[in-house]
Copies of this chain bind each other. A is one copy, B any other.
Amino acid sequence: MLTTEMNTTRLIEEVRDEVEAARARGLRVGCVPTMGALHEGHLSLIRRARQECDYVLTTIFVNPTQFGPSEDLSKYPRPLETDLSLCREEQVDLVFHPDESTMYPPGESTVVDVGGLDSIWEGAHRPGHFRGVSTVVAKLFNIVWAHDAYFGQKDYQQQLLIRRMCKDLCLPVRIQTCPIVRDPDGLALSSRNVYLSDEERQSALALSQSLKLAREQLAAGKEPSAVRAAMLEHLNGTSNVAEQYATVADAETLEELDHVRSEMVALVAAKVGSTRLIDNELISLE
């Protein structure tokens, strides 16, 4: 480790100086990009980075361009002091928490579009979302210049898209995807879970339950179309839940499947009350 004290900065130049110094010392640099409101899912990424890298950097930035006009940008939780304490406990070396005007200065006009993957599933339900994601992640990677960057499988399509972007733009960073962290009852951790009432939180279990259904039915030999119908039925049969999509797709292309493949992913998105949640599960048939 380069430092025993955690540093924090809002400044691009400071990040560059710190990272370049670390790299010059031969240290392996790991980056965990987040929007803050850190939970055990994020912490699992930081711990993995801490295991694999010598210098760990977390970015905290609620990226406005990945929120739609009717989404929850203004109410998205921003508990910065708590987040910094958590990072300190996990022995993060540097937290970069830029202001909006640092990431999007006046006059900026450049976007990164990944194409293909950006217009289906999450992309179809959240127009412009992935443009916001790919653009801000490209900026962050150009600022941070990490060897490795850690993303959660929870945002399955996002990590695929970022892998595609890095490959296509020749960004010299290795993308590492880490398993979904769940509460004991199966609910995938999300910064948005804080919006749920007690009753909604119970209803929200329908998402992970529908994935379990998919796994069991595919293992039992059912075709993806029948499995999708069962997932939808389960979601729509749960009070407070309005399904947005539920599908079994190719794990690489996210193409919806008619027949089983060796590597599949079950994807689900639903509104629970007014809170939009997503979940997924990788399914391999032997």
Contacts and interface: CB of A to CB of B under 8 A. Distances in A.
Contacts of A105: 167
A112 B110 contact: yes
Contacts of A170: 12, 139-140, 142-143
Interface stretch (A56-64, A113-121, A221-229): A113-121
A220 interface: no
Contacts of A139: 168-170
Interface in A108-143: 108-117, 134-135, 138-140, 142-143
Contacts of A164: 109-110
Contact of A169 (B115, B117, B142, B167): B142
Interface of A: 12, 16, 24, 105, 108-117, 134-135, 138-140, 142-143, 145, 164-165, 167-172
- Please give the count of copies of this chain that the complex contains: 2
Contacts of A169: 110, 112, 135, 138-139, 142
5 contacts: A16-B172, A109-B114, A110-B165, A111-B113, A112-B169
A168 B113 contact: no
A168 B135 CA distance: 9
Contacts of A167: 105, 108
A112 to B, nearest CB: 6
Closest 8 CB pairs of A and B: A109-B115, A110-B168, A142-B170, A108-B168, A139-B170, A109-B116, A143-B170, A110-B114
